[in-house]
Structure 1
Amino acid sequence: MQQITICQWVEGQYEDKVFTGATCMESVVIADWALTVEQVFNSANRPELAGE
C-alpha cells in the first residue's frame, strides 16, 4: 500500500495524518503547495521527471 504519514507538532505532541491514493496533501508551511500521494509515488518511479 502506498501511503504517506505526516506528523505535525501540535500543543506539545505529534498528530499523525495518513494520506493514500488521490488524497491531496496541503502544506501548512508553503503557500499554494499541494500534491496527491499518487503524484509523489509516480514521480519517484519516473527519474526523467526529476530534471523538469
Structure 2
Amino acid sequence: MEGSGTRVAVLGDTIKHFPAGQLSAFDISAANVSKEDIQVHIVSKCALNL
C-alpha cells in the first residue's frame, strides 16, 4: 500500500514521546485495508544511537 494515498487514522499514544522501556498502545483505523497490509515501525533514540 506504500504510496497509495490511502487515508489512515491513528489513535492513542503515538503523538507523545515516551522514555525507552515505557509501554505505549495505539489503534490504527484504515477502511478497506487488511491488517496484513499495515506495517508499523517503532523508532527510538536507542535504535538510532543518539
**After TM superposition, is the score higher than 0.5?**
no
Could you say which TM-score interval applies, normalised by the shorter chain?
A: under 0.3
Higher helix proportion (structure 1 or 2) = 1
Higher strand proportion (structure 1 or 2) = 1
With CA pairs under 8 Å and 6+ residues apart, which has the higher RCO, 1 or 2?
A: 2
TM-score normalised by length of structure 1: 0.25
TM-score normalised by length of structure 2: 0.25
